[in-house]
Amino acid sequence: MRPIICKELAKIPTRKNGITAIVEFMKALPDENKITVNNLDKVVSIVTLIPKDTNKEIYIKTIASELLLMLDHSFEKSYLFQTSGRIISILLLNYPEMTYSYIISKIVDPLHSPIQNQNEETIDIAIKRIERIIIQPDSNIIINIISPIFTTLWTASCFSHKTHKYIWRDRINSLILSYIVVSDQLESIFKIIDNFLYVGNNFSFVNGEYGGISIEINDLGVVLSIEDIDSRIENFSFLIERLRNDYKLIENIFLKLLNHWLNKNKNLKQNQDPLNELSYLKILMFIQNNYLPEIRKNTEKVFQILMDVICNFNENYKLSQKDNFIDFTSPSINNLHKLVGNNLDSEITEEDVNIVMISLNILNVILVDNPKLSEKDISILNTIHNELMYMAENSIESLKICAKDLNILVKSCLIFPVTSDQSKNSLTENLKEKYNKAIRYIYDQLVPIRAQGILLLKEIIETKDPIIDVNEVLNILIGLLKDDDSFVYLNAISCLSCLANNHGNYIVKQLLNEYANVSKYKLDERIRIGDVLFKIIQYLGKMINNKISDSIATTMLDILTCSTNDIRLRSSALNLLGAACNYSFYGMGQWCFRALESSIDILNFEKTEEHVMIRR
């Protein structure tokens, strides 16, 4: 009967409200608004394992509308949009083009190059759907959904901030941050910086009917003012502040901005939008003024950039002085090009001077803090020292004084350097940094970022790296099982299962103690620990024997045979006991017969309606 049943089951999702019916059937209790991780996995498997003789494109097209409607349910039925998000995530992984065409595009279309006006309700539904779907423990779906609309989201966020719609701004910024965290972070930040003044192609954001935002199609080019740039800088600061602890990212943003200015000055003939260049400068100044402690943590690259700026300026100044010298005593047609060359190639502009002033100011702030210097740092500072000596004697008046004062500080650092320890193991440092980042993300306020932190921790666990303190990680993950957000504790369950793969017996013993602890955990939390134990029992399989089998059996039987325990907890214990007997019949030994006796007793003596779940 198995092939026939499977074939009929495969038809259910394509019927009207078929997926919803499957989810409702698989729930633990009709009045519960939650679904266990095991039942969720079963629903996802039923819907996403498309039979071979079924046309996959027609199948996905048929179920697409219901999956989208499931995303729109209220929080009272959160299990529906939770299940829909997981199904879409798996479909996108297995059938990317068809899933994008029939599902993802329908979600992002109102924000992705709209061809008609979009009212506030439509924008709100689109954002709500994105919010619910990107909480999946899958970076692939976040990137696929947000990437096409990333710059549009930035524009929407800036409009919301400018018009004091802070709830809308924070919602949209959460989506932007979720994308930044799972993508190439530096590239994503510069995608914002490079499109800092973007206002939309043939459309613009306007005030919505009910105090939100909407989209209006127009051919009028929106002109931004200096005040608009300042407003966008302020909005940008909210995003960067959430990433402050990643000092390498802050440093790389700063260095890339400085490099932009350096390369810009090398090609003065390039046509540049003044407002765009002003935005770059304001962002650079913002990073300099607010994130110097992060920049100071790795001074070598900063010193290198500053040295290049100072050296290039001095070189250009020397050329300008040389070009300014013309022998007018013997004028001829041959030296006319010098007059033109003087104006085009070697002219020192006010902008050049400003960039050098910024560089000198940054160098001053870094050195005042008396940072630890490597041998490479000292070598670069020696070069800067020589360049500052030249600048103090030969440069523009406004720079001479700054260069002279700064050179005193540079010289003192070179005479009495505070050297850094270069013997650190870079690999260990990188692992520590990744571990610390994972912990930071886990305690973030945004659910997608917390989920990403758990995934980072899972990656470290999978490498069996010794940096992992098993007890510390176990306590963190068990704590996450108490989280009210299902996406967080589902990820925590997955991560705990991974930890158990490396430390099976020890983790099982600890989790059994927690599972049996009445005073420490609420009912739902104990059931979640049971979900973890179920996955671990599946993984251990025939390796369950001796003391572990005794611990599993005694714990489950104690809970199961106590009639005062909640029926859901007893059902969970019976399920775990049955799984252990199923996956390791010989390892469980005598306990299999005890489990059978208990099951028969339940069927014989617990026949009321409230016992339906455990009888099943």
Q: Tell me the pTM.
A: 0.72
Residue whose entry in the numeric block shows the structure tokens 């919803």: 20
Q: Tens of pLDDT along 340-373?
A: 444 434 567 777 787 788 888 888 878 876 677 7
Mean pLDDT of all residues in 427-432: 67
**Whole-number pLDDT of residue 124:** 94
Considering Cα of 493, then 495, then 499, then 502, what sign does the dihedral take?
A: positive
Instruction: Give the DSSP H/E element, type plus range, for residue 229.
Output: helix 226-241
**Whole-number pLDDT of residue 332:** 46
- Determine the Cα–Cα distance for residues 141 and 86; give it in Å rounded to an integer: 10
Q: Range with the lowest mean pLDDT among 21-25, 147-151, 510-514?
A: 510-514
Q: Are 268 and 320 in contact (CB under 8 A)?
A: no
**Whole-number pLDDT of residue 336:** 39
Q: What domains sit in the chain, N to C, each tagged with a CATH number? A: 1-108 (no CATH), 247-419 (no CATH), 426-615 (1.25.10.10)
Q: Tens of pLDDT along 530-545?
A: 888 888 888 777 777 7
Q: What is the mean pLDDT of the chain?
A: 82
**Whole-number pLDDT of residue 342:** 42
Mean pLDDT of all residues in 24-47: 80
Burial label for 553, CB within 10 Å (0-12, 13-18, 19+), is: buried
- Determine the Cα–Cα distance for residues 391 and 384; give it in Å rounded to an integer: 10
Considering Cα of 106, then 152, then 256, then 179, what sign does the dihedral take?
A: negative
In three-state secondary structure terms, 207 is strand
Per-residue three-class SS string for 113-149: CCCCCECHHHHHHHHHHHHHHCCCCCHHHHHHHHHHH
CA proximity to 102, closest of 49, 66, 136: 66
CA proximity to 350, closest of 287, 281, 304: 281
**Whole-number pLDDT of residue 486:** 73
Give the DSSP letter of residue 68.
H
